[in-house]
Chain A
Amino acid sequence: MSGFRLETGGRVDRSQPVQFSFDGKSYQGFAGDSLASALLANGVMLFGRSFKYHRPRGLVAAGSEEPNALISVHRGPGRFTPNLRATGVEIHDGLNATSQNRWPSLAMDFGAINDRLGMFFPAGFYNKTFMWPRSFWDRVYEPAIRKIAGLGDAPTAEDPDVYASTYAHCDLLIIGAGPAGIDAALGAMDTNKRIVLIDEQDELGGGALADPALWPWLERSVKALTEAPNVTILNRTTAFGYYHDNFIGAVQRLTDHLPDITDAPREKLWRIRAGEVVLAQGAIERPLVFDGNDTPGVMLSSAAKVYANRYGVAVGKALTLMASHDSGWHDVFALAKAGLGISAIIDVRESVDSALMLEAERLGITIHLHHGVVGVNGRHGVTSVDICNYGDQRVHRVETDALLMAGGWTPSVHLWSHSKGSLKWRDDLGAYVPDQPNENVHCVGGCSGDWDFGTGAVVDALPTPKDQSRIKAFVDFQNDVTAKDIKLAVREGFRSIEHIKRYTTNGMATDQGKTSNLNGLQIASSALNKPVPDIGLTSFRPPYTPQTFGALAGHAKGALFQPTRTTNIDSWAEEHSAIFELVAQWRRARYFPKSGEDMHAAVNRECVAVRSSVGIFDASTLGKIEVVGPDAAEFLNRMYTNPWKALEPGRCRYGLLLKEDGFITDDGVSARLAPDRFHLTTTTGGAARVLNMMEDYLQTEWPDLDVWLTSTTEQYAVIALQGPNARKVLEPLVEGIDLSAEAFPHMAIREGTICGLETRLFRVSFTGELGFEINVPTAFGRAVWEQLMAQGAQYDITPYGTEAMHVLRAEKGFIIVGQDTDGTVTPFDAGLDWAVGKKKPDFVGKRSMARPDIVAPGRKQLVGLLTDDPNVVLEEGAQIVADPNQPIPMTMIGHVTSSYWSETLGRSIAMALVAGGHDMTGGTLHIPMPGKTHTAKVSGVVFYDPEGARLHV
């Protein structure tokens, strides 16, 4: 044996040495090693510091249940992964790993002072201690705790890797490629089923990898499955969650095990829908609970077998077994066969199977039945253990450098529980096993409670003659929860395991209690003197093991997080230096700054241009719905607040849409093109919602109406041409439409051509000026826009953005649904009662407008606000009070909804929702803002051209 590497044995490739580093120190391992096995082979026992007490910790396990050996891997800028289990990290040349939660170094850790103060850190310590004074929490307690407690650091740089994702469908999905999973796959291989076999490790085989006698079978089986055309094998893949209808999420790790970084995807998310699922996740060995069971060198007996037989590494030179289960004896016999030295077998039971006794005696191993470990000596590694004879209570010492724990087995029912399968308690196993399925799934092998490695006694914690208050017997290694903590929780009145879990944090670490849940349950059960099934079992939730955000996000990040909708005119805006904003998913030009202009200056210039000459605006994002059919007018009459049946073809109407609760949900101008055809417009953000609502009424309330609804939002580019010179710009380009005021009045629509293209030309205005909205087929939006720009040059035509549009509409008191309304505003509250058809017997929301709460006084109503200081622009969202001298907290009677500087009026204007506001005209309100409380007079909402004279020209 060189160091701890055995001369022979294992599946590592001794002809392929691998250089890697841990905490800056270089080591050599072999291809096929995990980081854990390679470090162990180099004699490294210390892998990390514990979460709360900063106790030195070594390996407990060899698989994904490892609670202690959490490490970070560095693969260059942005490629930093914390909290990986060293047992699952494959080494490669150049691997750079570090330990966590220690300062300044792993061997000398400042935070270990917590361990000496351990008696002051009982269960619920944080809840009890840091409650007062409240202000200390943010500034003192939390930063201090964060510094000393915790796991790996969160990455700070952007992740440069790419992640793939895919959907897959199969007839049979097998999760776990140990002997049971492989048998299931072999059994189904010759059918015509499409089979997917998933395993989290790099190599298939599971437990068989640690059993050389099974290797020939394994090799044959893997070859057969690999060659089978109907079998897809996904290794290095973790099935992390089991969702409804046999939908399984799995992450495949593609490149982290390779020495070179390429642009290939790092991981791949598989979303698999399976006809049938076979769970073969195996079982996890249970640690035993005794003082010092977290000392480096104390580990699961099955793990020692894995390190020896799979990796060719000895976990010690003189091993001792502490068992309550036969499986540990079998492990020790296998270790002896592999050439490891065995000091002693200790078993809590008074007798065991005579065959075990005979074999141990044959191997010359000392046996201590009816004994238990009561102390572990050595801080950074086991030097000896103290064992107690439960007969005469005498304690004596056994020299050893590794203590193996064999506490029985816990079936891995995680995915079974995700699928909502029920569990039943088996007293003989001291474990829950799968009972009734909730999906087309069944369990095979270890995870069903079916194994052949003997029987055992179920113990909660090993009995000890020591003072219970002086010992640290760990249940949850990762969260530093001891048996004492669980007993304390029970003494303090916690009865349900769900509460005990949250109070002690048992099972709440990143390993979700894979090694601790059952021991915690047993201890709580004994303390409560109730059988385990009576205190329940905590829930298992996805993910089975932690997964990267990168894999779950896949391509959905950055520009691909959600699609950006752009209009046909967007490219022109971009070429002309527009500053953009997102409105719903649309990218809209907010303003077009000229050289040296800030937003304020640009918006002022754009507004003045519209009022004095002509402006041009991309309104393509407006929602559009084509309503067609003999009952189209009847349908709109039922949907909207105002009457539609008498609207003549060629005319437009402002439509106000309520929900059935009477509150405004959308608005827009719509046109009647023909007796049976309407062109509706909606708000930019409301298009899909409005269409859904209309479909709902049409399909389910009034299926007798003969009407068809079609979204046409993306069929038309819409250009708003607004200002006193708008007609002059338009006239030379339009054919077949008489644009004169007499022939084409405000709120009318005409069909004809513009630049030779068919157009639906609206004469409408959201600015208060003479205005047109030109609808042309989307693909020609930019072409027509450019023609209008050329034609308008003589009038200094000015493109304007959404910000100027907002100012212009606010000057006219036009509301923006969702800004000046908030889902609790009725037409009356908004001052839009003129848009409600009083004589209509019914429309959506009408009955609710008569509800007692809606007609009660004191509702918030939309008003205008004119600040006493005309230069003050109130903040949108600012709260409004009636009396600024009232005691704090003040009674807030409303808030500012829209507020702008109006260059046209030479002063600020605002709209606000104020309780009883309609009765306050001329009164003074107060608006506290940072630095000063401002005063404003209540006014109407129309600040400019209240007669509408500018529209009718």
Chain B
Amino acid sequence: MILIHCPYCDEKRPEIEFANAGQAHIARPFDPSGQSDADWEAYLFIRANPRGRHHERWRHVHGCGRFFNAVRDTVTDKFETTYKAGEPRR
């Protein structure tokens, strides 16, 4: 069971306290109605699914409740880093 560092609690806690929330740094368009079908499709459905370094969102759902960002290697399952929502991509 992986240990995940919550950047808000600043503690490494067991995986069961967290929930994955999909790929990170996909901002909801400011004006969705102004989006073309293709742009909206890309926002809604198209995800990176990389082999290796992956930016994703987690929520410390059974802890502080905050959403945060993480860089995880999808091959080794190791977390490279975690950081608060709103901070620049690492």
Contact = CB atoms under 8 A, between A and B. Distances in A.
Nearest to B57: A700
A842 B31 CA distance: 8
B67 A700 contact: yes
Contacts of B41: 851
A695 interface: yes
B9 interface: no
A361 B27 CA distance: 82
A485 B34 CA distance: 65
A660 interface: yes
B85 A851 contact: no
A175 to B, nearest CB: 17
A314 to B, nearest CB: 47
A848 interface: yes
A692 B57 contact: no
A259 interface: no
B77 A696 contact: no
B21 A696 contact: yes
B49 interface: no
Interface in B1-31: 1-3, 15, 19, 21, 27-28, 31
Nearest to A840: B33
B1 A852 contact: no
Contacts of B40: 847-848, 851
A703 interface: yes
Given A701-B28, A846-B32, A438 B65 contact: no
A692 B61 contact: yes
Nearest to A696: B67
B1 A841 contact: no
A244 B86 CA distance: 28
Residue of B31, B32, B35 with most partner-chain A CB within 10 A: B32
Contacts of A700: 57, 67, 85-86
Given A244-B1, A848-B40, A851-B37, A699 B32 contact: no
A243 B27 CA distance: 34
- In this complex, the member of A243, A700, A850 whose beta carbon has the largest number of chain B beta carbons within 10 angstroms is A700
A660 B44 contact: yes
A626 interface: no
Contacts of B53: none
B67 A699 contact: yes
A812 interface: no
Contacts of B85: 699-700, 703
The number of chain B residues touching the other chain, given as a range, is 20 to 34
A845 B19 CA distance: 23
Contacts of A703: 85-86
A692 B31 CA distance: 23
Nearest to B41: A851
A247 interface: yes
A841 B30 CA distance: 11
B1 A243 contact: yes
Contact of B3 (A245, A692, A699, A850): A245
Given A245-B1, A692-B59, A695-B65, A852 B37 contact: yes
A420 interface: yes
A852 B41 CA distance: 10
Nearest to B66: A699
B32 A847 contact: yes
A847 B30 CA distance: 12
A438 B2 CA distance: 13
A700 B40 CA distance: 19
Nearest to A661: B44
B61 A848 contact: no
Interface string A699-728: 111010000000000000000000000000
A848 B37 CA distance: 9
A848 B76 contact: no
A887 to B, nearest CB: 36
B8 to A, nearest CB: 10
A720 B15 CA distance: 40
Interface in A103-120: none
B1 A247 contact: yes
B67 A841 contact: no
A695 B66 CA distance: 8
B33 A244 contact: no
Contacts of B27: 701
Contacts of A850: 33
Interface in A310-335: none
Interface string A841-881: 11000111011100000000000000000000000000000
Contacts of B77: 244
Contacts of A660: 28, 44
A699 B58 CA distance: 12
Contact of A842 (B2, B32, B44, B59): B32
A611 B15 CA distance: 51
A847 B35 contact: yes
B86 to A, nearest CB: 7
A700 B44 CA distance: 16
B2 A848 contact: no
A707 B28 CA distance: 19
A847 B67 contact: no
B2 A245 contact: yes
Contacts of B28: 660, 701
Interface string A459-481: 00000000000000000000000
A275 to B, nearest CB: 12
Contacts of A692: 19, 59, 61
Given A438-B76, A848-B40, A695 B2 contact: no
A420 B76 contact: yes
Contacts of A841: 31, 33
A243 B15 CA distance: 12
Contacts of A851: 37, 40-41
A438 B77 CA distance: 11
A271 B27 CA distance: 39
Contacts of B76: 420, 438
B30 to A, nearest CB: 9
Interface string A370-389: 00000000000000000000
Interface string B63-76: 00111000000001
Interface in A747-792: none
Contacts of B1: 243-245, 247, 271
A495 to B, nearest CB: 24
A848 B44 contact: yes
A352 to B, nearest CB: 45
Interface in A147-181: none
A324 B33 CA distance: 77
Interface string A268-305: 00010000000000000000000000000000000000
A699 B57 CA distance: 12
A92 to B, nearest CB: 36
A243 B85 CA distance: 29
Contacts of A848: 40, 44
Contacts of B31: 841-842
A703 B86 CA distance: 9
A438 B37 CA distance: 45
A695 B19 CA distance: 13
A867 B15 CA distance: 52
Given A692-B61, A699-B85, A842-B31, A244 B67 contact: no
A893 B44 CA distance: 28
A850 B37 CA distance: 9
Contacts of B67: 695-696, 699-700
Contacts of B35: 847
B37 to A, nearest CB: 6
13 contacts: A244-B1, A244-B2, A420-B76, A660-B28, A696-B21, A700-B67, A841-B31, A842-B32, A842-B33, A847-B40, A850-B33, A851-B37, A851-B40
Given A700-B67, A700-B85, A852-B37, 7 more contacts: A244-B1, A245-B2, A438-B76, A660-B44, A699-B85, A846-B32, A848-B40
The 9 residue pairs across chains A and B that have the minimum distance between CB atoms? A847-B32, A244-B2, A245-B3, A247-B1, A699-B67, A701-B28, A700-B85, A700-B67, A847-B40
